[in-house]
A and B are shown apart, each in its own frame.
Chain A
C-alpha cells in the first residue's frame, strides 16, 4: 500500500482527521441534541390548516393550526442530505479507484457507502414516522419516496454485489462501477420534486424559501451537526477497517 511512482497520496487512518473525529462526533451529537431541544422550545411552528378565528400569540396574529410534526424536517432533511453527500463520495472514490487501481480507494468507497446506508435507514425511519402521522398511511407511491426507496435498494444491491465476488480486484472494479451508476440516481432523487410537484415534499432549497431566521438557524444547527456526525462515523469505521486489513496482512506475514 505504499506510494506509487506517481506518488498517489493514499487516504490513511490516523493523522489529523482521526484526531478530530471524536471531537467532531461529540460536537455533532451536541448540535443535534441542541436542535432537538430547540424544536420543542424556541422555534416558531409552521402554520398548517386554517382555523376559524384569529388569536394573538406572542406578537403575531395566528389563524392557522401550528404544526409540530413539521419539526421532523429538521432531522429528516439533514440526514437525507448527508446520505446523498456520502454517495457522492462513493462515486468519487470509485472513480479514483478506476483511475489508479489502488485498493485503498476501494476500502474508502466501502466505508463511505456503509455510512451512506446508515443515514439512508435513518432517513427512511424518520420519513416513515412523518408519513404515518401526516397522512395516516405507512407508504405512498409518491415520487420522492419512491426514488429514495430505489436509492436504498441500489445501496443494498451494492453490498450484495460486493459479497458475491471473491476476487478482490474484480470486486473493487465492479463495486466502483456500480457505485458510480448509483450516484446518477442521487440528482434524480434530489430534483424530482422540482420536476413533479408533490404535496408531501415541497421544495425547500430556494432562494426565496421563506424560512424565517430562527427556523433557518435551527435548521443549519441540525444540518452541520449531522454532517459532523457523518464525517466522524466515516473516520471511525475507516480506522477500524484499516486496522483489520493490517491485522490480516500481519497474519499472512507470520504464516510465511
Chain B
C-alpha cells in the first residue's frame, strides 16, 4: 500500500506540521480510481476479456437469429439484443474487478486507511463505469456492423447515447454493491447473476424501451423515450443513494 501515491501521508492521522495536508475524500477517490485505471492499463486484461466476450455474444446472437425470415424486423429487436449484451458483459466485468482485490488482499489494505467507506464504493463504481463505457464504445459499432446494416435505423439513432449512459451508471452502481457482497460467498459468479438480474430489471426495461424507441423512430419516439429515460434516471438515483449508504456495512463485514 506504500505504492499508492498520495495516500502514504494520510496514515499519520493528525499531523503536527501545517505543511502536511490531510487528504480529502475527493483525494482518496481520485487515488483509488487511478489505482484501478493504472492496473487496467498495464494489463489490459479486463478490457480485452470483456471485449472478446461481447464479440462472442454477438456471434451467438447471429446463430440465434440465423433462421429468421427476411421479413424479420431487426430494428425492433435491436435494442433488446444490445441490452442483453450489456447485461452479460457487465456481469463478467463486475466479477473480475473485485476478484483482483480479493486475490491480492488489496481490500484489507485499503480498509486500513482512515477514509469514508463510501468513497471506496464511488471509486470502484466509477472504474467499473469507465470500463463498461469503454466496452460499449467498442461494441456498438460492431453491433451495427453485424445486425443493422441491412436496414436503416431512424435518424434519432444518435440519441441512443443517453439510455446507454444512464443504464450503465445504474448497472455499475448496483453491480458494485452486489459484487462486494457476492465476492465473499460460495458460487460467486452465479450468485452475482442471481442477485443482479432481478434488481436491474426495472432499469433494463426502461433502457430497452428507450433504446428501441430511438432505433425504430416514428412519431411516438419522444412519448416513449422521455418517460423511459426519466424512469431509468429515477431508478439510478434511488439505487445509487441506497448503495452509497449501505456500502459501509457491506465492506466492513
Instruction: Answer whether residue A22 sits at the interface, using C-beta atoms and an 8 A cutoff.
Output: no
A132, CB-defined interface residue at 8 Å: no
Residue B138 interfacial (CB < 8 Å): no
CB distance from A143 to the nearest CB of B (A): 9
- Inter-chain CA distance A164–B195, complex, in Å, is 12
How many residues of chain A get a CB closer than 8 Å to chain B's CBs?
23
Residues of A within 8 A of B242 (CB): 180-181, 184
Q: Which residues of B contact A160 (CB under 8 A)?
A: 191, 194
State A79–B38 Cα separation when bound (angstroms): 53
Known A-B contacts A170-B253, A180-B242, A180-B246; the reply to A157 vs B198 at CB < 8 A is yes
Give the chain A neighbours of B191 by CB distance below 8 A.
160-161, 164
Q: Is there contact, CB below 8 Å, between A177 and B246?
A: yes
Interface size class of B (residues with CB under 8 A): 20 to 34
- CB-CB < 8 A to A185: which residues of B? 198-199, 202
Contact A177 B185 (CB under 8 A): no
Q: Is residue B250 contacting chain A, with contact meaning CB distance below 8 A?
A: yes
Q: Complex Cα distance A176/B197, Å?
A: 19
Q: Which of A98, A165, A177, A181 contacts B184 (CB 8 A)?
A: A165
Say yes or no: is A169 at the interface (Cβ < 8 Å to chain B).
Answer: yes
B238 — which chain A residues lie within 8 A by C-beta? 184
- Cβ–Cβ contact A165 & B194, under 8 A: no
Residue B133 at the A interface, CB < 8 A?
no
**Is B250 touching A157 in the complex (CB atoms < 8 A)?**
no
In the assembled complex, A131 has its CB within 8 A of some CB on chain B: no
B186 contacts the other chain (Cβ, under 8 Å)?
Answer: yes
A178 lies within 8 A of B198 (CB): no
Say yes or no: B181 contacts A178, CB within 8 Å.
yes
Specify which chain A residues have a CB less than 8 angstroms from the CB of B201 in the assembled complex: 146-147, 150
- Majority SS at the chain A contact face: helix
A173 within 8 A of B: yes
| Residues 165-205 of chain B, each 1 if its beta carbon lies under 8 Å from chain A, else 0 | 00000000000010001101111000100110111011001
Judge if B158 is at the interface, Cβ distance under 8 Å: no
In the complex, what residues of B have CB within 8 A of residue A157's CB?
A: 194-195, 198
Q: Determine if B250 and A177 form an interchain contact, defined as CB atoms under 8 angstroms apart.
A: yes
Contact between chains at B198 and A154 (CB < 8 Å):
yes
Q: Give the distance in Å from the alpha carbon of A180 to the alpha carbon of B197 in the complex.
A: 17
Assuming the A-B contacts A164-B187, A165-B185, A169-B253, are A147 and B194 also in contact, with contact meaning beta carbons closer than 8 angstroms in the complex? no
Q: Which residue of B lies closest to A163 (CB)?
A: B186
Question: Using Cβ atoms and an 8 Å threshold, which residues of chain A touch B198?
Answer: 150, 153-154, 157, 185
Contacts of A161 in B (CB 8 A): 181-182, 185, 191, 194-195
Shortest CB-to-CB span from B172 to chain A, Å, is 16
8 Å CB contact of A176 from B185, B205, B249, B252? B249
Interface residues of A in 168-191 (CB under 8 A from B): 169-170, 173-174, 176-178, 180-181, 184-185, 188
In the complex, what's the smallest C-beta–C-beta distance from B49 to chain A, in angstroms? 25
- Contact flags (1/0) for B55-88 with A, using CB distance below 8 Å? 0000000000000000000000000000000000
CB contact list, B117-132 vs A, under 8 A = none
**Is B239 in contact with chain A by the CB < 8 A criterion?**
yes
Q: Closest residue to A175 on the B side, CB-wise? A: B181
Contact A164 B249 (CB under 8 A): no
Chain A residues with CB under 8 Å of B202's CB are: 147, 150, 185, 188
Find out whether the CB atom of B250 lies under 8 angstroms from the CB atom of A173: yes
Contact with B along A27-51 (1 / 0, CB 8 A): 0000000000000000000000000
Q: With a CB–CB cut-off of 8 A, which chain B residues contact A174?
A: 181, 184-185, 250, 253
Q: Residue-by-residue, is A127-162 near B (CB-CB < 8 Å gives 1, otherwise 0)?
A: 000000000000000000011001001100100110
The contact of A164 among B186, B205, B239, by CB within 8 Å, is: B186
Q: Do A177 and B195 have beta carbons less than 8 Å apart?
A: no
In the bound complex, residues from chain A placing their C-beta under 8 Å from that of B182 are: 161
Q: Which residue of B lies closest to A188 (CB)?
A: B202
- Per-position 1/0 for A181-211, Cβ under 8 A of B: 1001100100000000000000000000000
A residues contacting B by CB (< 8 A) are: 98, 146-147, 150, 153-154, 157, 160-161, 164-165, 169-170, 173-174, 176-178, 180-181, 184-185, 188
Per CB-CB distance, the 6 closest pairs between chain A and chain B, nearest first, are A173-B253, A164-B185, A153-B198, A170-B253, A164-B186, A150-B198
Please, could you name 17 A-B residue pairs with CB atoms under 8 Å apart, sorted by A?
A: A146-B205, A147-B201, A150-B198, A153-B197, A154-B195, A154-B198, A161-B185, A164-B185, A164-B187, A169-B253, A173-B250, A177-B181, A178-B181, A178-B195, A184-B238, A184-B239, A185-B199
Q: A160-B194, A161-B191, A181-B199 are in contact. List 7 more A-B contacts (CB 8 A).
A: A161-B194, A165-B184, A173-B250, A173-B253, A174-B184, A174-B185, A185-B202
